Amino acid sequence: MVVGEYIDRALTGTTDKRPEFLRMIEDSKKKMFNYVIVYQLDRFARNRYDSATYKAKLTKNGVRVLSARENISDDASGVLMESVLEGRILFERIKSKNKAWNERNRIERSLDWWLFALWLQHI
C-alpha cells in the first residue's frame, strides 16, 4: 500500500534543499512506512555522500530504499552493485560537467576569433 509520495519537481541542487525529500526523512522517524521506492537510485540522492547519509538515517528508522529499475539484493553482491551504480552516476555527472565546460570554452574561443576578425575588418 502506498502511504504517500514525496516529489520535488523541477528542483536541482543539493539533497538538503529538497523539501519533499526532507519531509520523507522526517516521516520515516514516525514509522509511517517500511520502504522508499525510487525509479532508479540516481533519483534518491545527488551524490554518494548524501546517499550514504540518508540511507543510514532511513535504515536507523527501519526503512529500506528500493529501486524499481535496478534489482539490488541485500547481500554483499548488492552492496557492491549499489556502489558500482553510484560510481557510474558520479562518472556521468563529471562527464556532463566536463562536456559543458568544453562546449563553453569552444564557444568562447570561437567568439574571440570572431571578434578578432571583426576588429581586423575595421583596421
CATH number, residue 96: 3.40.50.1390
> Per the structure, how many domains does the chain have?
1
pLDDT of 105: 75
**Assigned domain for 5 exists:** no
**Assigned domain for 4 exists:** no
If residue 85 lies in a helix (H) or strand (E), which one and from where to where? helix 76-121
What's the N-to-C CA distance of the chain in angstroms?
75
**Assigned domain for 26 exists:** yes
Q: Which domain holds residue 89?
A: 15-121
pLDDT of 40: 86
Pick the more confident residue, 26 or 86.
26
What residues have CB less than 8 Å from 65, skipping those under 6 apart?
Answer: 35, 36, 38, 41, 44, 55, 58
What's the pTM? 0.67
**Helix runs in 3-75, H state only:** 19-29, 48-60
| Nine cell digits for residue 96 | 556532463
What residues have CB less than 8 Å from 99, skipping those under 6 apart?
Answer: none
**Assigned domain for 10 exists:** no
For residue 48, name the pLDDT band (cuts at 50, 70, 90).
Answer: confident
For residue 54, name the pLDDT band (cuts at 50, 70, 90).
Answer: very high
**Assigned domain for 3 exists:** no
Q: At what angle do helices 48-60 and 19-29 cross, to 10 degrees?
A: 30
